[in-house]
Amino acid sequence: MVGVAMRLAPEGPAPSATRRRGTCCSYEDFEDARRVAERMDFPFYVIDLRAEFRAGVVDHWLSDQAAGLTPNPCVRCNGSVRLDAMLELAGRLGAQALATGHYARLGRRGSLTTLHRACDRSRDQAYVLHRLDQRQLGNAVFALGSDESKTDVRAEAASLGLGTAAKPESQDLCFVDTDMKSELRRRLAGRFMPGPIIDGDGAPIGEHEGLPFFTVGQRAGLGIVTDRPDATPRYVIELRQATNTVVIGPRDALRRSNLEAGSFRWVSGTAPTAGMRCEAQLRAHGRAHPARAEADGPDRALISFDAPVDQAAPGQSVVLYRGDEVLGGGVIRRAA
């Protein structure tokens, strides 16, 4: 057995009143991992993936944010940076499998490796793994996806004398050191500008600071002063990049019955030949909605919901399930 940690994001400044705590990739994190390896008597390495992480995750995240989209960088990181690099290293080390700390499960159906939710739904991470292909899944081991809860895992670590048994959990996003708005202002300086806020009829309501600071479905922080304390709450309905416009309206205006997803990946590697029944999930820890999906080309899917949904933000991932099995997923392009 060989232990490996990845250096992804540059280590930020020392924790302070303004820096968000609980990030990963710090010197202390690597030292904790090294001490575990010493305790369990196996070799330990740190591989530097900062350049790959910047190009494959952070740059895409910034471009999407600047365009008024709602990206999920954890999906891209798990699908095209971390697992690829680790599997390549595992091959060079002659390892038979790659074990990770993801909360998910694997199964078999004939010659296929299937991907499933973790038994502990509160910890489930299958959503962010939906882009893994058969090669990646076939060489992976998700040891934490079975019946054990986080409490059970910590108790087992404590029984082994591991100092990380009570370590606080890391938070998303690992490369954000402060609050999200401050981080976007810093990283996107010069790539956003003020613009109009309008209602669904096109009437001007106010002015916004920039599209990166809004997402479809957002209610708080709109900067809109209502004229009555009992006014109907308003939400971000649409972000129009072409005109740098934020459209707001009542919650009912968020409801969508159909969406188109691009960059779509099917876990089996093969798209269904006709529409199929499934459940579609629009957030990493959101509910799954009954739907029908069909492939529309090699990397595009069309999804129709049994009942309208109100969380279809362009740029976010939509992941399809049948029961606890992940069928595939892609990036929301349009919703209607």
CB of 251 closer than 8 Å to CB of 310: yes
174 labelled catalytic: yes
E strand map for the chain = 3-7, 44-48, 98-100, 104-109, 112-117, 140-142, 195-199, 204-208, 235-240, 245-249, 256-266, 276-281, 288-295, 301-309, 317-322, 325-335
Give the alpha-carbon dihedral of 27, 28, 30, 33, to 10 degrees: 170
Q: Measured between alpha carbons, how far is 71 from 261 in angstroms, rounded to an integer?
A: 13
Q: Measured between alpha carbons, how far is 240 from 242 in angstroms, rounded to an integer?
A: 6
Q: How far is CA 278 from CA 122, 220, 264, 326, in A?
A: 21, 32, 15, 10
Q: What is the DSSP letter of 270?
A: S
Exactly one of 24, 77, 119, 278 is catalytic; which is it?
Answer: 77
144 preceded by a cis bond (ω within 30 of 0) = no
Exactly one of 24, 25, 74, 174 is catalytic; which is it?
Answer: 174
CB of 305 closer than 8 Å to CB of 291: yes
Q: Measured between alpha carbons, how far is 25 from 8 in angstroms, rounded to an integer?
A: 6
119 labelled catalytic: no
Q: How far is CA 87 from CA 78, 96, 104, 105, in A?
A: 12, 10, 18, 18
Q: Which residues are catalytic?
A: 77, 174
